[in-house]
Amino acid sequence: MAQKTLIEAVTDALHHEMAQDDRVVVFGEDVGRKGGVFGATAGLQEAYGTERCFDTPLSECGIIGTAVGMAVYGMRPVAEIQFLDFIYPAFDQIVSEAAKMRYRSGGEYTCPLVIRSPYGGGIRGGHYHSQSSEAYFCHTPGLKVVVPSTPADTKGLLIASIRDEDPVMFLEPKRSYRSLKGEVPEGEHYVPLGVGRVAREGTDVTVVAYGAMVPIVEKAAEKAAELGKSVEIIDPRTLVPLDEELILESVRKTGRCVVVYEAPKTCGFGAEIAAIVAEKAIGHLEGPVVRVAGFDTPFPYSLEHLYMPDVRRVLKGIQRTFEW
Amino acid sequence: MTTSELLTIIEKDGRAAKGKDPNLSADDLRRLHRTMLAARILDERGLALQRQGRIGFYLQALGQEASHVGSAFAMRDSDWFFPAYRQPGIPILRGVSYDDIVCEWYGNDGDTSKGRQMPVHYSFRQANFVSISSPIGTQISQAAGAGMAARIRGDDTVFMTYFGDGGTSSNDFHSGLNFAGVFKAPVVFVCENNHWAISVPLKGQTASDSMAAKAHAYGMPGVRVDGNDVLAVYRVCKEAVERARKGEGPTLVETVTYRMGSHSSSDDASRYRDAEEYESWKQRDPIERFERYLENKKLFDPADKQALVDGIKAEINEAIKRAEARPRPALETLFEDVFMNPTPQLRAQRDELLALEGPESDDVGEFPL
């Protein structure tokens, strides 16, 4: 197995799928000649030609609108939205069209497309290059939402997303693009959607985290261990469909639960996880379910380090579950 | 090639303008006539059923039959439509049964889209007629994308998409035409300029001289045609379809027509539109105009019309009778087709609903507009 960064794992997955299925086409702003502003599509145009990997006009609405038409016609489009913060002009096409196509046509037409987009903060990107808006998409029936946290999962989940028969929002933790390196299996590597993973085993408290929050929580877990608390980390990997059982199983074992996400706290996806735990595992809880999240402010620039959940805040959250 | 001229073929007396008659066969001409007539009768029945409280909602294409039937007639059966909600003649032209159409109005268990949408939001896969949605213009960029896909695959499929004058103000009009122009997608964009977007008149939608003029900025031809002249619409669209099929790229066709009815069964156009305008367009009725042409060609006798109308009406009424006898879709279909396979959460929600005891509540009211 090779050591790869998270972004190299994205490229690896795209190569793998483009090579084995000529319905897969990759497009978006600057993805062709330049290979993407982050380099995720580097080398694809050289390898598969300008018909299968190409630059589009600068229009998110157009990128997703055309992607929906391609998918309906039988292709497997993989569209890149340069930053998740720029996706809003395409919201109508995602929410009203891609997500509804199968349902509204009684299954006559389907929309198997993947929308890849880097999301999240911690890169000094300010308000328009840092948002974590996964909750909008999780709230839309008909969309799958995938957020990998490791290079290996990035490859395996992206391959599964491209082969999926339904539209998938594939949100890449850009903070981890180059900062995270790990073993990535060569060739075929498929990680099914809807199956979470135990990122760290523990016995005293469950911390649920996804994407770029996983490495932060891992660091916090080390600290907690020094303080005598054993943390179990659950990485759901896909938010829709969600592996509820894995989370509940862990909470039933530990009796405590913290949810960490970098989106604004109110109505964030962590609130959904907290609700599920309250609904289905309340008898096992020995303390409140605690959310450690971004604040309900627009994403800041200079004070970004205070906005983002960090080790200090995760530890504080863990502590609160014991103080009750 | 962009023009503000209006191509017309059928003149007032029913004769074709010199050298412009597309010379369709007698069978084709009869088929065009019958399809336009059927679309109109279907619309009359649909609105009547809504007024009688038998279906919840209806959208008519009254006065626009030549525009959509003439354009659609220029396509091959293997070509695709990305429709709006005012093209009832297209499914009829493509051989979709009245049963399939009427079952959608009722949202019953015979509806191809399983009762998932309001009336007139059809999906007919067998006719390459893509599922209709209500948000304005979204189908425009989708048609561009499908056209791009066909080009990549080397298929010779052509795509036709429809929208009104209101639709030209949408984001997707801009992005769809822009992408289609850049990628030379085989698409015919049909703007049915019916002069009204609910209550907003054409001049409230654009300051442009014409809709066709907008094509220029996207690097494609824009053609303006008399939308109440089925032969003129057919001729213009035939050329556009052939250009697309030869790989010469997209065309914007503006069919100048008029929405004779209200926006929908929930709207009353007499509240914002003057009767004079309506009367002047009534004189240009596309079906009567085509009948004068057919009469000249000895292909139609006004004395036979009532029998033709009665025959179509009887077929539609039979379909309505059958549709009314069918039940709603089964309860569990509520949870189908969200995804190919339901998630554990959807299965749990379905089971929760199935386990409920006691009578179902049917207190959902009527469409309130």
Is residue A145 included in any domain, yes or no? yes
CATH, residue A154: 3.40.50.970
A92 and A139 co-located in one domain: yes
- Find residues 333-362 of chain B whose CB sits inside 8 Å of chain A: 336-340, 343-345
pLDDT beyond 70 at B264? yes
Q: Which residue has the higher pLDDT, B363 or A123?
A: A123
CATH, residue A289: 3.40.50.920
A216 and A317 co-located in one domain: yes
Q: Measured between CA atoms, how close is A34 to chain B, in angstroms?
A: 19
Count of helices and strands (H, E) across chain B: 11, 7
Is residue A308 included in any domain, yes or no? yes
pTM of the model: 0.97
Strands (E), chain B: 80-82, 159-164, 187-193, 196-197, 200-201, 222-226, 251-256
pLDDT beyond 60 at B3? no
Is residue A265 included in any domain, yes or no? yes
A58 and A86 co-located in one domain: yes
Catalytic residues of B: 259, 263, 272
Is residue B199 included in any domain, yes or no? yes
Pick the closest to residue A322 from A213, A227, A249, A236 (CA basis): A227
CB within 8 Å: B125 and A109: yes
- Find residues 23-52 of chain A whose CB sits inside 8 Å of chain B: 25, 51-52
A272 and A150 co-located in one domain: no
CB B149 within 8 Å of CB A72: no
CB A29 within 8 Å of CB A82: yes
pLDDT beyond 90 at B133? yes
A68 and A175 co-located in one domain: yes
Phi-psi region of B197 (alpha: psi -120 to 50; beta: other; left: phi over 0): beta
Final residue before a domain boundary, out of A137, A155, A184: A184
CB B257 within 8 Å of CB B68: no
- Segment B17-40 mean pLDDT: 97
Q: Measured between CA atoms, how close is B24 to chain A, in angstroms?
A: 31
B85 and B210 co-located in one domain: yes
* Closest residue in B to A58 (Cα–Cα): B175
The pLDDT value recorded for residue B366 is 74
Counted domains in chain A: 2
CB within 8 Å: A69 and B344: no
Domain that holds residue A80: 2-184
- Find residues 113-172 of chain B whose CB sits inside 8 Å of chain A: 113-114, 116-117, 121, 123-125, 130-131, 133, 135, 138, 140-153, 171-172
Counted domains in chain B: 2
A81 and A140 co-located in one domain: yes
Give B185-195 pLDDT, tens digit per residue: 999 999 999 99
* Closest residue in A to B153 (Cα–Cα): A23
Is residue A304 included in any domain, yes or no? yes
Q: Which residue of B116, B142, B345 is in closest CB contact with A104?
A: B116
Whether A129 is catalytic is yes
Q: B159: which strand partners?
A: B80, B187
The pLDDT value recorded for residue A21 is 98
CB within 8 Å: B149 and A73: yes
pLDDT beyond 80 at B30? yes
CB within 8 Å: A56 and B179: yes
B247 and B107 co-located in one domain: yes
B249 and B339 co-located in one domain: no
B305 and B360 co-located in one domain: no
Q: How far apart are CA B147 and CA B240, in angstroms?
A: 14
CB A170 within 8 Å of CB A115: yes
Is residue B18 included in any domain, yes or no? no
The pLDDT value recorded for residue B1 is 43
**Which residue intervals of chain A are DSSP H helices?**
6-20, 44-48, 60-73, 91-92, 101-104, 134-138, 151-163, 213-226, 244-254, 269-280, 304-307, 311-323
Write out chain B residues lying below 8 Å of A57, CB-based. Answer: 175, 178-179, 182
CATH, residue B96: 3.40.50.970
Domain that holds residue B163: 26-325
Q: How far apart are CA A14 and CA A9, in angstroms?
A: 9
Q: How far apart are CA B122 and CA B103, in angstroms?
A: 10
A202 and A306 co-located in one domain: yes
Q: Which residue of B123, B131, B344 is in closest CB contact with A244?
A: B344
Q: Measured between CA atoms, how close is B152 to chain A, in angstroms?
A: 6
CA distances to B16, B126, B290 from B19, rounded to whole Å, are 8, 37, 17
Q: How far apart are CA A295 and CA A309, in angstroms?
A: 9
Mutate one of B108, B179, B350 to test the A interface: name it (highest A CB count within 10 A): B179
Give B229-243 pLDDT, tens digit per residue: 999 999 999 999 999
User: Tell me, what's the ipTM?
Assistant: 0.96
Is residue B1 included in any domain, yes or no? no
Mutate one of B171, B173, B218, B334 to test the A interface: name it (highest A CB count within 10 A): B171
Give B306-317 pLDDT, tens digit per residue: 999 999 999 999
Is residue A237 included in any domain, yes or no? yes
CB within 8 Å: B337 and A107: yes
- Segment B114-131 mean pLDDT: 98
CB within 8 Å: A59 and B178: yes
pLDDT beyond 60 at B333? yes
B254 and B356 co-located in one domain: no
Let me know the angle formed at the C-alpha of A269 by A265 and A273, rounded to the nearest 5 degrees.
Answer: 110
- Segment B262-289 mean pLDDT: 95
- Segment B222-232 mean pLDDT: 98
Is residue A189 included in any domain, yes or no? no
CB within 8 Å: B178 and A70: no
pLDDT beyond 80 at B57? yes
* Closest residue in A to B130 (Cα–Cα): A109
CB within 8 Å: A68 and B82: no
Percentage, residues of chain B above pLDDT 90: 95
CB within 8 Å: B146 and A70: yes
CB within 8 Å: B140 and A65: yes
A45 and A158 co-located in one domain: yes
CB B86 within 8 Å of CB B165: no
CB within 8 Å: A107 and B130: no
Is residue B4 included in any domain, yes or no? no
* H or E stretch at A201: none
Mutate one of B335, B337, B345 to test the A interface: name it (highest A CB count within 10 A): B337
- Find residues 276-295 of chain A whose CB sits inside 8 Å of chain B: none
Is residue A191 included in any domain, yes or no? no
